[in-house]
Structure 1
Amino acid sequence: MVVTMFACSHVGLVDEGCKLFESMKDVYEIEPKLEHYGCLVDILGRAGQLKEAKERVQTMPLKPNAVLWRSLLGAARVHGNLEIGEVALKHLIQLEPETSGNYVLLSNMYASIDKWDDVNRVRKLMKDHGVNKMPGSSLVEINGAMHEFLMGDRTHPQSKQIYMKLEEMCRKLQERGHKPKTKEVLFDIEEEEKENALSYHSERLAIAFAVIASDSSVPIRIIKNLRIE
């Protein structure tokens, strides 16, 4: 049943997924477990039915775990529902006070609509709970060796060549009409600084290094150390 509901969630079959859930008790006399509620919340959340998803979590006979609340928080971020995002984070802080990703999700929601005071409030909350955000990095394998890059990283032995290649790549992108999506930079900084932050992002550094260090016929695979929500 979990697999079928999971499939419904990922292909947008909301009604079918909800009917499957209801049939567990009504037809098969099976009491839904946490994983079934998790699938239901995911189905509703992906479809933007956040109010119903929240009500399901709050009224379920089992105690909701962090996975359920995080699923709701992730859906709230995707659909821009700050109210439900705040509710979910409140419960997540009680269950997982030291998990930085929970705070970051809500902070990013505030940043995406320029609510910097609220961003600072969430960051203070992290500090009060002694939570440190793990910096995002990108890894690429070249000739059997893993190379890791952070944003603006200049510690690599071939840093000079990497930045030269990166500037060349950025120049060619601009010539072809590419415009940086500065809205994705979730910091209260000037537009030019946002463009620089995007230009020197860890993925771009990893790609630039791979281009100069590997054969052009070899696929480039970048690995992120953090889950992307």
Structure 2
Amino acid sequence: MLELPLTVKIPTDQELDYRPDLDEILMKRRRANIREGYKLLMNENPRLPYRFQATINIDNSSLWELFLELAETFPANVSCVYGLTEDESVTTMPLKKEFVLRELSGYEAELTQDCQLEFGLLFHQKDLLIELSVSESKYIRYWGIELERFKRLMKSFDLPADDKLEFIDEYPKMVLPLRDVLPGSKAPETVVYYLDDAFKIDRNASNALFD
């Protein structure tokens, strides 16, 4: 079974709310293929400027390390994409990748475990797209060009290709506030506020919670 964030709990059969297809969901969940690995999809549309996309499950304790390794496939300047799951994400102007990663690293625990936060990197030109995102359920999506380099990286993390791989948000789950399970962590609104400040994003932050 995949190592999940501290904030994600798989409900027991008794904790699930009743619904007409509950028995079917329970049966499907018992056969769920949620484990480490990646699902690869080649781009067949020549008008889209990437070669492939991949969705990746990795144990949560290794998520940040893999994120940093995938970030190495980007040029020196990138945009950062981040936000709260219930709000629209913002995309920064192109910034030095080193600066972006340094700012994100200050909130590693929150970004990798708080299911209210999503984040990633983006490089987009007319003929080239590279994108890396970490979903609210803390698996990775990646769009890229260098397929062989990507496969070598997956192998270095012992992540096998699996076209039948499934992901945690395909099934019922319970999400806990990070502060309930990791004392001293920052509220997601606080993380967004400080990233806005670092990246010079101007939006209403009056509801931010300060630590």
Q: Given the two structures, how large is their TM-score scaled by the length of structure 1?
A: 0.24
Larger proportion of helix = 1
Between 1 and 2, higher relative CO (CA 8 Å, sep ≥ 6) is seen in 2
Larger proportion of strand = 2
